[in-house]
Amino acid sequence: MSTSPDTPAHRIGARAQASEDAARAWPWAEKLWSALRSWDEYGALDVVESALDSGLDVESVLLDVIGAAQHHVGIEWAADRMSVADEHTATAINERAVAALPIPRPENERGRIVVACVDQEWHGLPARLLAETLKLRGWRVDYLGAQVPTGHLVGRLHRSRPDVVCLSSSLPTRLPVAHGAITACQATGVPVMVGGAAFGHDGRYARSLGADGWAPQARAAADQLAAGIPARPAAPRLTVHDLPHLEDQEYTYVSFSASRLLAYVLDGLEERFPAMREYSVHQRDRTEEDLAQIIDFLAAALYMDEPDIFSGFLLWTAEILEARHVPARSLAPALDLLAEDLRDFPRALVMLDAGKRNLPSAI
Ligand code: B12
C-alpha cells in the first residue's frame, strides 16, 4: 500500500493548520450541536451561514463544524442521552447543512474520483464529507452514497474510468465485504483508497486487505491525493491470497451458521442467566440484536484474524448496555455458550477467551 508521498514537514504543517482551523471552528461546532440537540433545522442552517460569514473556510465548516457536531451525536447516543430518533434527526439536519454549503464547480478539474460506501454500509455521511472535501480541492467527484453493491460499483468504474475509487466503511463487520469490493475494483485497473472507522485508527486493516491507499480523515485523504494518486494495482488476485488463514474455514463456518449460533445462545442463556426469563419483549429483542452483532463481530475478527476487533466490540457493547441500565453480565455466559458450540475452532476459541478476559471485572 502506498504511503503519502508528501514530506514530513508538509504533513506537520498541514496538521498544524488543521488543528488551528479546528480550534477556530470549535465554538461554531458547539452552536451547531445545540441546534441539533433541539431538532432545530433552521437554527442549524443559521449557524453554518454565520460560521462562513465569520471567515471560516468551507472545508473547515464541513469538517470541523458539521463533522465535529456529528461525531458528538455518536458520543451522546452511546451514553443514552440521545435516542435513535434524535440521532436520525440530527443526521438528517447535518445532511441538509452539508447540502447548503457553497461548493462551486472546479475551474480546472484535477481528475475524477468515485466515492462510495461498501455494500451493507449505511454510514453515508462520513463518505459524503470526504466527497465534498475532494470537490472543494478541485476533483470531479461521483458520490454514490451508502451501501453500493459491488457488482454495480464495478460496472460504474468500467463506464467512468476514474483515477481512483474511495471506499468508505464505518463498521468492522463490513470488512469482508470491503475486501471483496477492493479486489474487484482493483481488477478493473482502478486504484482503491479506503477509509472510515472500520479500517482501524492506524489503517492496519486497510493494509491487510491490500488497499492501495488509506487516510484517517478527509483532509489527509485530500492531501495525499493532491500529492499523487496511488499507483495502478498489480495483477488481479483472490481475497484468500491476502489472508491465507481463511483456508481454515473458521470464518466461513461462523458466518454461515450465524442464525443457528444465535438460536443456540438464546436458548442456553435462559438456563445460565435466569434473570432473562423476566425480560420484556423489548428487552428480549434488544438482547437478540446484541447477540447477533456479537456473532457478526466474531466473524469479522476471524476474517481479519484480529482478536482486537472482537474484544473492542465486546467492551463497547458492555458500555452501551450499562449506559442503558441493562445488565451486561449476560455477556460472559453468552461467550461461554459460543465457545461450547465452536469447540473445534481454535482461532474462534482464542478470540472468545480474549474477549471474555477483556470484559470489565465488574461484569
Ligand atoms: C449517524 C450514524 C448512523 C446513521 C448513519 C446515517 C448516515 N447517513 O450516515 C445510521 C442510523 C444509519 C446508523 C446505523 C448504525 N450504526 Co451508526 N453511527 C452514526 C454516528 C452517530 C455518526 C457517523 C458519522 O457520520 N460520523 C461523523 C464522521 C465525521 O465520522 P468519521 O468516521 O470520522 O469520518 C471521517 C473519516 O472516517 C474519513 N473517511 C470516511 N470515509 C472515508 C473513505 C476514504 C476512502 C477515506 C480516505 C477517508 C474516509 O473521512 C471522514 C471525514 O473526515 C456514529 C458515531 C460516530 N462518532 O461516528 C455511529 C456509529 C458508527 N454507528 C454504530 C452502530 C453500532 C450502528 C448500527 C449497527 C446500530 C444498530 N444497532 O443498528 C447501525 C449499522 C448500520 C449499517 N449496516 O451500516 C457505532 C459503531 C460501533 C462499532 N463498534 O463499530 C457508532 C460508532 C456509534 C457509537 N457511538 O458507538 N448509524
pLDDT in tens, the chain (363 residues): 333 334 434 444 455 556 777 888 999 999 999 999 999 999 999 999 999 999 999 999 999 999 999 999 989 988 888 999 999 999 999 999 999 999 999 888 899 999 999 999 999 999 999 999 999 999 999 999 999 999 999 999 999 999 999 999 999 999 999 999 999 999 999 999 999 999 999 999 999 999 999 999 999 999 999 999 998 877 777 888 899 999 999 999 999 999 999 999 999 988 888 888 888 888 888 888 889 999 999 999 999 999 999 999 999 888 887 777 777 777 889 999 999 999 999 999 999 999 988 887 644
* 197 alpha carbon – ligand 1 mean position (Å): 7
What the block records as the C-alpha cell of 221 is: 485523504
Which amino acid appears at position 343 of this protein? Answer: R
Nearest to 65 by CA among 38, 104, 93, 87: 93
In whole angstroms, give the CA distance from residue 356 to residue 352. 6
Nearest to 224 by CA among 236, 211, 212, 215: 215
* 170 alpha carbon – ligand 1 mean position (Å): 5
User: What are the start-end ranges of the H helices in the chain?
Assistant: 8-37, 41-53, 58-60, 68-78, 84-99, 124-136, 150-160, 175-187, 204-208, 218-227, 239-242, 250-256, 258-272, 281-304, 307-323, 331-341, 346-358
Residue nearest to atom 4 of ligand 1 (CA): 123
The set of protein residues with a Cβ atom below 6 angstroms from ligand 1 is 63, 67, 70-71, 73-74, 77-78, 87-88, 91, 120-127, 129-130, 166-168, 170-172, 193-197, 215, 217-218, 221, 313, 316
Ligand 1: atom nearest CA of 124 is 9
In whole angstroms, give the CA distance from residue 80 to residue 44. 22
Burial 269-286 (b: 16+ CB within 10 A, else e): beeebeebeebeeeeeee
Q: How far is CA 182 from CA 132, 171, 185, 305, 315, in A?
A: 22, 16, 5, 18, 29
47-83 pLDDT, tens per residue? 999 999 999 999 999 999 999 999 999 899 888 889 9
Return the pLDDT at 283: 80
Pocket test for ligand 1, best of 93, 123, 315 (most atoms within 8 A of CB): 123
Return the pLDDT at 47: 98
In whole angstroms, give the CA distance from residue 171 to residue 127. 13
